Structure formats: C-alpha cells, structure tokens
Chain A
Amino acid sequence: MAALFPRVFDIAPASARRLRTVVALLFLASAPARAAEPAELKIGVLRQPQPRETISILETPAEDETLAGAELGADDNNTTGVFSNQKFTPIDAVAQPEDDIVQTVARLADRGVRLVIADLPADRLLAAADAGKARGMVFINSAAPDDSLREQNCRANVFHAAPTRSMLTDALAQYLVWKQWRRWLLIKGSHPRDDALAAAYRASAKKFGAKIVEERTFADAGGGRRSDTGVAQVQRQMPGLTQNAPAYDVLVTADESDVFAAYLPYRTWDPRPVAGSAGLRPLSWSPAHEQWGATQLQNRFYRLFKRPLRARDAQAWMAMRMIGEAATRTQSVDPKKISDYLAAPEFEIAAFKGQKLTIRSWNLQLRQPILLSDGRTIVSVSPQEGFLHQTSTLDTLGFDKPETKCKLR
C-alpha cells in the first residue's frame, strides 16, 4: 500500500480491509439498495502526528491515531450507506510540522475533497481553513482544544468536534465543587498551552466558586521522559514541588504538554487527590467508558485496530459520524448541503453520551457531556446535577453565548 502511494503525496486511501467490508455489505444488501451505484463522498483526514514521547508508555500515540477513528466512523457510515446508497471514503493526508499546510490542503482539494477532518495545532488549522475557503472546503476540528478557535479566531468553515479547554476544565470544576473540594492548589507547566489550560482552570474556579489557594509552575528543563531509574528521582522531586502549600483540598494540574502531572499522584507532600492532567481527568472519551451503549463502539474499534479507543480517535469518529448523519438526513453527499445541515438547528447526533449532541450556532462547537476518568473507570460525567441553564445544561460547560467573542465569517 505504502509503495503504491508514495510519501511525497502524503495522501493514501483508507485501508483495503475497510473497503472489503463495504463491498461485502453491499453484496449482502437487499435488491432495492443495490439498484444504483452509491453516491461517494471523499473526506480528508488531515493530521499532524503527535510527539511519541509521553510520561506513560501506555499513552504512546498510535501511528494511525485520528485516522483509525475516522475509518471506524466511515465504516459505520458505510453500513448505513448500504441502505441510503451512499459511500464514504476517508482520504488520509499526513502533514508533518515542516510541510506546507496550504499545499497539502490544495492537493486534497484537487482530489475532490471538500470536507476535512483536521487534527492540527490551532495556527495550522487556521491556515488550512483559510486556504481551503476559496475552494469551498469545510473543516471539522477533531483535536485542537483552543478556545480561541471558537472565540476571536472562529471561522464559518470550521466546526469543532473536540471539546475546548474551558469545557474540560468546567466539567472537572463542577465535579470538584459538587464534592465540596473547593480549595485548589494549581500547578501548571511552563509551555504556552499549559498557560492556556491554567487560565481555563482559573476561569472555571471563578465561575463555579472554587478558590485557587496558590499557583505554582513546574519548569520543563527538557530532556527525555523515559529512563531506567527515573522513578527514584521523581519520588524525591514531587514532594518538594508540593511542600509548604496553604491548606487545600485537591491538587489541580495544568500540564497539557505531559511533562510532570502524571508523576504527582501518591507523591504529594500532603496526602491529597490529584486532578486535571493526571489523576481524575476530564476527557471527551475514555477506553473505560461503557455507559449508554458505548461498549458497542469500544468493541467495534478494538476489533478493527486491536487497541483501546482513546479521546483523539473518538473525536475523529465523532467528526466522521457528524458528516454521515448529515448525509443520511439530507439524502445527499453534496458537501455544501452537508455543512449547511450541520449548522442548522435540526442537527443532532447520538454519541454514547446519554443525550443528544448538537451544535452551538454561534461558534459551531459540538455540545457534549465530558467524562471524568481515573484511567480505569468513569468516576462521573459532567454536567453535574444542579448546574442549571436556560437552554441546555451542556452550555454550563465552556464559554456560553452571551460571553462569545465569535463573529462567524
């Protein structure tokens, strides 16, 4: 496969295995469904590979992260497509950090792709969206959590399947407040995205009545995260990092860069629970999630890819399902009709989260419950009971309409 589609194009069709499934299903389909050639929709999967260095070896990103989720979504769409006579083909497009994103987008457009699932950092997503605008391309952000993409830098041709930092931090804050753990010690990393996450925690604390008793920074001194004897050193470092803190209930960590937070549970000076980037984490999806039929999705993913379904893949699955749902409802594979339907008030989708997910019309963000997981189980799901809202309790998570800085264009 790799030889047929050389690296220089960075674009390859979805694996043959998935196509075989589709063909098999088409073969099995009843006579009325087989009457005509299915209408095909190509969906770009534009992704920048994640750094492979994580604190936990268990969280090393897979080579096909995001693509695998999109492929499962296309599989699901294609099973439905047997009955609606539609076919969904993911087109993988890897953009390395050094690649010119504008050119990658142009190549996708040349192949007839108008709908793109994007797993890119915020600045590159904006560059891609602006480059694709002239060619009528619409993007679904499946990874970037930046609130700015939904606020001052929002775009009329960018939907967001991934939750924002503010949605994630609000989800955790609601639970901590419900637990009456209102005094937080906040420790953040030293990278810009850690600052952004810490700012989101500050805003969440204020919004829900928690108090950050002190804020500390863990400076990333660089170097590798994996070593044979690192644990002994970490055991001596972490108590020091958390020593002499004012009285607090819970240690909240803002470490999106994955440099230190995972070292904190069981190593704090005072015996306190850890939450945020380690311990109890707010996530759009977890391999531990099994409520509301989620087991079926977990099983389908595992069967195809032999690994657990994590948030990044689940968000790409979600983006692909959004496209499929719009295509089924509009009975069309016209990208314009599909994106119009996604932005319309009728759009709603089930995603194993216990309630329908809809789009915030003012910034094209997908509303969604957030899971709180300790890594092995789902501890709770936010929004928490008692946090009320006049239109949707899901809008208690993240920036709400009256606060928005987004002007869609």
Chain B
Amino acid sequence: MQVALIRALCVAALLPLLGGQAFAVSAYVTNEKGNSITILDVDRMEAIKTFPVGKRPRGIALSPDGARLYVCTSDDDVIQVYDTASLALLGRIATSDPEQIVLSPDGARIYVANEDDNLISIFDAQTRKSIAEVPVGVEPEGVAVSPDGKTIVATSETTNMAHFIDAAARKIVGNVLVGARPRFAQFKPDGSELWVSSEVGGAVAVIDPVQKKLIAKVGFEIPGLTKEQAQPVGIRMTADGKTAFIALGPANRVAVVDTATKKVERYLLVGQRVWQLALTPGDKYLLAVNGLTNDVSIIDVTARKVLKSVQVGALPWGVAVAPK
C-alpha cells in the first residue's frame, strides 16, 4: 500500500516532465443544457476545456482508436462527428432525435436509438451513410453491442422490452420483457449476460442472451431513502466481469454490485441525479456524471472510494473515455 502510494506520487511528479498531453487520459462529457462538451484530464482530475457543440448533446461515443468523437445532438436531429486531436467538426449524420449511441467493437458501424421514431438506425462509420433502420418498441433509448459484435440490443422505454437484433441480418430475433422504463443495456465483458436497468421499475434485469430469458434481478435498498428513489440508469462492468457499477439517478449514489451474487456490496455517494458512467483504461477510475450538480465524480475502482468531483457544464448527461 505504502509502496504503491509512493510510486503513484513519483509518477504524478514526473508527469509534467513527460510532456503531459500524450499520457493524459481524456474523458468527454456532454452538457445537455450547456450545448457543449467538457474535456477532463482524468489523471489531473481537472476540466481542461469546454467547447460548443449542437443542441441538446446527450449520447456520446469514441471510435475504438479514439480518433473520432460521435455526439448525439438530439434537438438538431444530428450526430456530430469530431476529430479528437483538433476538435474540428468533420461531419454530421442526420437522424431523428438520436439519444444513445454505440459503435461496433471494430468501429465500422454506428448504432443509434431514435427515440421519437421507435427505430434503431445503423450507419457506416466510414461513409456516414445509413445502412438500415430496425423498428423496435416505443421510445428506444439504451443500445448495446455484444462483445463479439453479432448482437445489438435496444431497450424501449414505454414498451419495456430489450430487443435483440441480429447485427448481420438487421432483424429482431428476440424480445425480453423487463421492468418499467428500461434505459440502459450492458453486456458482461465475456458476453454471457446482458444487464438492463429499469429506471422506474427500480431494478436491473440480468438476461441470458442465448436463451433470451430473465435469469436474475438486482434490487436496491438504500437506508434512509424510499424505494422509489433508487432509479438505476447507467451500468458499467470491470474488464474481469466481477464488478458492476450502477448509477441510481435521484438516489445520488452508484451501487457496487458483485456480478456473481448479484448483490449490492456498497453504495457510493456521488452528486445529484447520476445517470451515465464510464471506466478509464485499466479500470482505474469510474466516472459518474451528475446531472443536477453539474459535476463528474471520480471514483477509485479498487478502493471503491469517491476521490473528487470535477465541475463541468450545465446538466451533464453522457461520458466517453479515450482508450489511451
């Protein structure tokens, strides 16, 4: 412990000498009301820049190499594409009310939930042209891709289903009914489970993606809070698949869940209305975006401790972390 701390301090002291920028881990946070993106230097735990984007930026994703940044600017009905080195706007992809966005593991495809049109749109990342639209339930929001890239999952908030879409055939191959208002879907890193958070239902459904059946449920009981206040949204898992972090919205907490037992081990107090989460490379930090306090909580994954909160723009929503 002591040695690790000293080593960390030494590295921290050396960083400026090494020229900073190239070694810094950057995180990009969309500010829904600020119509901007704030860039965080995760190692220095500081906001380093805020730049204007389109209207109502929400979902955000990076290409696997970190070179391109995709931002859902919902009120512009556009996905904006930025160059992360220059922050130059490279192009726009027109698509109705985009909310959440994910890329295929190889970065070739873009999957977007069009909340107003009950569609999942698929685009070619290279040409930015539409490849297909898949009709799903009412108000699709969450989008996830299986680690092998073969399955896309969309969650529809008013239909209350997780829709399994075959990525090659671009067709629905199964639907699983979950709790009320499913907002986020996340595959376990080995692809063996799909976790779906139901914000209003107040629980996370664990689904077997092969059988397409519900196998377990993660519930939340927070001392001193009503059960209605635990409204799970964002989910992230460590690369070893052992730990899940679940953002609990107006409960102002992130739940730390043992994926084997499906039990909550700890609740970490963060800012207000925490929705989206992201892990930094090597699962060193977890970033939790707090919409109503306009900040991002930086959490030490190993110590399971909130280290610092960093102010960003107005009503922060989504977060993406550069691969390195």
Q: Within 8 Å of chain B (Cβ to Cβ): is A307?
A: no
Binds B, one of A9-17, A198-206, A348-356: A348-356
Binds A, one of B169-177, B280-288, B299-307: B169-177
Q: How far apart sit A356 and B202, CA to CA, in the bound complex (Å)?
A: 9
Q: Are B163 and A83 in contact (CB under 8 A)?
A: yes
A393 with B180, Cβ < 8 A, contacts A293-B139, A299-B116, A350-B200 known: no
CB contacts (< 8 Å) of B163 on chain A: these are 83
Q: Within 8 Å of chain A (Cβ to Cβ): is B148?
A: no
Q: Are A79 and B200 in contact (CB under 8 A)?
A: no
For B159, give its contact among A28, A33, A80, A300 (CB under 8 Å): A80
> Can you list, as one digit per residue, whether each of B129-157 has a CB less than 8 Å from chain A (1) or not (0)?
00000010111000000000000000011
> Can you list, as one digit per residue, whether each of A79-94 has a CB less than 8 Å from chain B (1) or not (0)?
1101110000000000
Q: How far apart sit A25 and B175, CA to CA, in the bound complex (Å)?
A: 16
Nearest B residue to A303 via CB reads B116
Q: Are A79 and B137 in contact (CB under 8 A)?
A: yes
* B binding-site residues for A, Cβ under 8 Å: 115-116, 118, 135, 137-139, 156-161, 163, 171-175, 177, 180-181, 199-202, 226, 228, 231, 250
Q: Within 8 Å of chain B (Cβ to Cβ): is A76?
A: yes
3 cross-chain pairs, A with B, having the tightest CB-CB distances, nearest first: A350-B200, A30-B172, A80-B159
| Of A25, A296, A348, most B-chain CB atoms within 10 Å | A296
Closest beta carbon of chain A to B145's beta carbon, Å: 18
Q: How far apart sit A321 and B200, CA to CA, in the bound complex (Å)?
A: 15
For A329, give its contact among B157, B158, B177, B199 (CB under 8 Å): B177
Q: Are B138 and A392 in contact (CB under 8 A)?
A: no
Q: Are A296 and B180 in contact (CB under 8 A)?
A: no
Q: A31-B171, A82-B135, A354-B250 are in contact. List 7 more A-B contacts (CB 8 A).
A: A25-B135, A32-B173, A32-B174, A76-B138, A76-B159, A296-B116, A350-B160
Q: Within 8 Å of chain B (Cβ to Cβ): is A328?
A: yes
A356 with B200, Cβ < 8 A, contacts A79-B137, A79-B159, A83-B159 known: yes
Q: How far apart sit A30 and B156, CA to CA, in the bound complex (Å)?
A: 16
Closest beta carbon of chain A to B289's beta carbon, Å: 17
Q: How far apart sit A321 and B174, CA to CA, in the bound complex (Å)?
A: 23
Q: Are A393 and B228 in contact (CB under 8 A)?
A: yes
Q: Are A350 and B157 in contact (CB under 8 A)?
A: yes
Nearest B residue to A75 via CB reads B138
Q: How far apart sit A355 and B139, CA to CA, in the bound complex (Å)?
A: 17
A348 with B201, Cβ < 8 A, contacts A80-B159, A355-B228 known: yes
Q: Within 8 Å of chain B (Cβ to Cβ): is A62?
A: no
- Does more than half of chain A's interface fall in helix, strand or loop, or is it mixed? helix
CB contacts (< 8 Å) of B138 on chain A: these are 76, 79-80
CB contacts (< 8 Å) of B180 on chain A: these are 348-350, 356
Q: Within 8 Å of chain B (Cβ to Cβ): is A29?
A: yes
Q: Are B161 and A80 in contact (CB under 8 A)?
A: yes
CB contacts (< 8 Å) of A350 on chain B: these are 157-158, 160, 180-181, 199-201
CB contacts (< 8 Å) of B161 on chain A: these are 80, 83
Q: How far apart sit A350 and B158, CA to CA, in the bound complex (Å)?
A: 7
Closest beta carbon of chain B to A149's beta carbon, Å: 26
CB contacts (< 8 Å) of B175 on chain A: these are 83-84
Q: How far apart sit A142 and B14, CA to CA, in the bound complex (Å)?
A: 68
CB contacts (< 8 Å) of A299 on chain B: these are 116
A296 with B172, Cβ < 8 A, contacts A328-B160, A349-B180, A355-B228 known: no
CB contacts (< 8 Å) of A392 on chain B: these are 226, 228
CB contacts (< 8 Å) of A80 on chain B: these are 137-138, 156, 158-161
> Can you list, as one digit per residue, whether each of A355-367 has a CB less than 8 Å from chain B (1) or not (0)?
1100000000000
